[in-house]
Structure 1
Amino acid sequence: MSKITFPKISIVTPSYNQGNFIEETIQSVLNQNYPNLEYIIIDGGSTDNTIDIIKKYEENITYWISEKDNGQSDAINKGFLKATGVIYYWINSDDYLLPNTLIKIGSLNWPANVGAFIGIGHMVNLNKEIKYTPEFYDPITTEQLYNWTNNKDFMQPACFFSKAAWNNCGPLNTNLHFCMDVDLWIKISKRYELKRGEFNIAHAYIHENAKTTAEVEKMNLETYLMIASHGGFIIARKLLYDFFEREQRIFKLRLKEATTNSILNRVLKKISFKK
């Protein structure tokens, strides 16, 4: 009986001051016990306990560095410059892989026309309770990705992609701070098939410091403009119209509240509460 040879999987974790989460991320990767793993951590110069945690596991980490970078996209790009695998994946330092994920991915057939395999990811709270799971769409087309903010077909930590897809469609656009993953998926979808798999891949935490939680409007606007840059003008125009209409309503409401408060303050100043 011939021994199964698993393809090398290169995983990159970008990190910056995620000491509360990164140990679980690291453990979730190393505990896969995948026989052909390359694990790379690119830290942006953390000042919390992140480095101490990384050092605990450095014997099993292929490469890591901590130095100032130009953000998440830059860190991921640096990581893949070090990668030597045939399957690529990045997992942020506040996400974690589910058990046996890498064996499932490594056992798949990766024909040349498939640029990415996408499983199922879940958004969870800090108690690990599932709060959101994207709908399962198959196949995933470029047009669907243009409508990302409405469809949200899958989560970034649920997507593995080939080295060839990265070489032909990457690296990440370092001018993008929120939707660099969707930008990459769109590029890949124009040249390759995005294959779906009905199995769980990873969990992503919902917490107040997560970029997608704290700056959702900035993320949406950046995504709409990115979609337009790829040729999704009709969808982007509608999304931008809805965005600015919503922002206008919020502005008017805040202006009304500010005006009311200003008038109230002036009235209160004129009222004497002395007996």
Structure 2
Amino acid sequence: MNPIVKAPTLNDLPAPPPGKTGWPWTEQNEALPEKMPDGSDWPKISIVTPSYNYGQFIEETIRSVLLQGYPNLEYIVVDGGSTDNTVTIIRKYEKYLKYWASEPDHGQTDAINKGYRYCSGDVFAWLNADDLYYDQSTLLKVINFYQKGYDLIVGECLNINADGTHFNQAITSTEKSDPTYFKKYLRYWSSGFLPQPAIFVKKEMADQCFPLSIELYYAMDFQFFLRVLNQEPKSVWIQEKLTRLRWHEDSKTMGTISRIDFHAIVPEPEVHKVALAEAENLPTWLEKIFFRIQAFDYLSLQPYINSLDNFHWLQITKTIVKRPTLAVWPLFWKIFFRSLLGEQIYKLLKRTIRTN
């Protein structure tokens, strides 16, 4: 572990690469006073960045954390043994990190678990190595809400391209997030996923969530948030951008966009598995059974939702014969009538109904 240099300034940090200007290269927040007005310490914020071969992005990520001007920050970077320039960049900033390591691991979830072991703060967040905080005031905004007694602080993301420009597709499930709770969030087919980079959790609650399952490739954040929500946190949903979420061809999020609808994130099979596992925390056996029925109903509809193929209505009818509970799903009937009538007639009928 390193003795941490508190609230470094632009003059403290290495010079930005040639041509890099603006936040977080040549802009910073003025450092907050070392103590709060009453003489006490600022609440400690623990941030973990998991990393692997994101050398083209990680320096921007690191600087966006360090230049917040926040005096009680512990920042941890866990790299999975990158073979690009990632380690060289981390070393440039190592004296400002509580801990860092670069060694082979079992993936992103394993890295987050490792980093969490070094967290001792009051508030926890993780920030992936291709994302960054929106501006220099993110952590101060978060801590103001924490001091008002909130356990779960949820902001919004600005979606950006690899070069930092605004990503012009409206991925609403990441740019904005509706208030939710455990039972609602379990129903992943009707609840948008929370914007992971813009979420901060009271450390005492996060303690009850770790370790996360290392076999998870996509859904570690879904598992984490379910475990947080199950504790019924006092939550606040900030309608402000707290982070910049980067979409690029090597990112996991880019790989989960539906071929049919670029605006929709396709739930992976492991999301279904996580939901079933965490549903064991539902309070009654009847709720557990009902949820399992719903979850497997939706799983049976996924081939029709996520495919560009035109399914014959007889094939869809066979599905409802196998799972009669699909009869209560409006989504099933939408799929059925679209296949029965054909796309053009279905859309015409839909427009007619809307105008009447």
Coarse TM-score class (shorter-chain normalised): 0.7 to 0.9
**2:271 is matched by which residue type in structure 1?**
T
| 1:6 corresponding residue in structure 2 | 42
Match of 2:194 among 147, 154, 161: 154
Report whether the alignment pairs 1:240 with 2:240: no
Cα distance between partner residues in 2 of 1:158 and 1:187: 17
Cα distance between partner residues in 2 of 1:111 and 1:27: 28
Sort the Cα spacing of 1:28 and 1:149 in 2 relative to 1 into closer, same or farther, 3 A.
farther
Report whether the alignment pairs 1:208 with 2:249: yes
Cα distance between partner residues in 2 of 1:97 and 1:4: 26
Q: Any idea what SS the aligned residue of 1:199 has?
A: strand
**1:75 is matched by which residue type in structure 2?**
A
Report whether the alignment pairs 1:172 with 2:193: no
Sort the Cα spacing of 1:236 and 1:178 in 2 relative to 1 into closer, same or farther, 3 A.
same
Report whether the alignment pairs 1:225 with 2:241: no
What per-residue deviation string (whole Å, max 9, x for no partner) do you get for residues 226-275 of structure 1?
A: 212222424422331122334676598xxxxxxxxxxxxxxxxxxxxxxx
**2:218 is matched by which residue type in structure 1?**
F
Match of 1:129 among 166, 176, 182: 166
Sort the Cα spacing of 1:219 and 1:67 in 2 relative to 1 into closer, same or farther, 3 A.
farther
Cα distance between partner residues in 2 of 1:153 and 1:246: 18
Q: How far has the Cα of 1:57 moved from its partner?
A: 1.1
Q: How far has the Cα of 1:110 moved from its partner?
A: 5.1
Match of 1:47 among 66, 83, 86: 83
Q: Any idea what SS the aligned residue of 1:94 has?
A: coil
How high is the sequence identity, in percent, across the aligned residues? Answer: 34
| 1:75 corresponding residue in structure 2 | 111
Report whether the alignment pairs 1:30 with 2:62: no
Sort the Cα spacing of 1:173 and 1:251 in 2 relative to 1 into closer, same or farther, 3 A.
farther
Cα distance between partner residues in 2 of 1:32 and 1:204: 18
Given that 1:221 and 1:243 are in contact with CA atoms closer than 8 Å, whether structure 2 keeps it comes out as: no
Q: How many residues align?
A: 251
Cα distance between partner residues in 2 of 1:142 and 1:62: 33
Instruction: Using the TM superposition, name which of 218-227 and 89-98 deviates more.
Output: 218-227
Cα distance between partner residues in 2 of 1:242 and 1:17: 36
Q: How far has the Cα of 1:153 moved from its partner?
A: 4.6
Q: Which has the higher strand share?
A: 1
Given that 1:121 and 1:154 are in contact with CA atoms closer than 8 Å, whether structure 2 keeps it comes out as: no
Report whether the alignment pairs 1:143 with 2:183: yes
Cα distance between partner residues in 2 of 1:204 and 1:247: 24
Sort the Cα spacing of 1:49 and 1:151 in 2 relative to 1 into closer, same or farther, 3 A.
same
Cα distance between partner residues in 1 of 2:148 and 2:295: 33
Q: Any idea what SS the aligned residue of 1:245 has?
A: helix
What per-residue deviation string (whole Å, max 9, x for no partner) do you get for residues 116-174 of structure 1?
A: 21111232223421433434423x11132123354325310011111111211222111
Sort the Cα spacing of 1:175 and 1:147 in 2 relative to 1 into closer, same or farther, 3 A.
same
**2:83 is matched by which residue type in structure 1?**
T
Q: Which has the higher helix share?
A: 1
Q: How large is the RMSD of aligned CA atoms in angstroms?
A: 2.5
**1:241 is matched by which residue type in structure 2?**
S
Q: Any idea what SS the aligned residue of 1:42 has?
A: strand
Higher relative contact order (CA 8 A, sep 6+): 1
Instruction: Using the TM superposition, name which of 153-162 and 90-99 deviates more.
Output: 153-162
TM-score relative to the length of structure 2 = 0.65
Gapped runs of 5+ residues in structure 1?
253-275
Cα distance between partner residues in 1 of 2:57 and 2:189: 26
Instruction: Using the TM superposition, name which of 194-203 and 67-76 deviates more.
Output: 194-203
Cα distance between partner residues in 1 of 2:129 and 2:267: 19
**2:272 is matched by which residue type in structure 1?**
Y
Given that 2:49 and 2:76 are in contact with CA atoms closer than 8 Å, whether structure 1 keeps it comes out as: yes
Given that 1:120 and 1:154 are in contact with CA atoms closer than 8 Å, whether structure 2 keeps it comes out as: no
| 1:57 corresponding residue in structure 2 | 93
Given that 1:45 and 1:66 are in contact with CA atoms closer than 8 Å, whether structure 2 keeps it comes out as: yes
Cα distance between partner residues in 2 of 1:251 and 1:64: 50
Given that 1:123 and 1:133 are in contact with CA atoms closer than 8 Å, whether structure 2 keeps it comes out as: no
Cα distance between partner residues in 2 of 1:149 and 1:22: 33
| 1:198 corresponding residue in structure 2 | 239
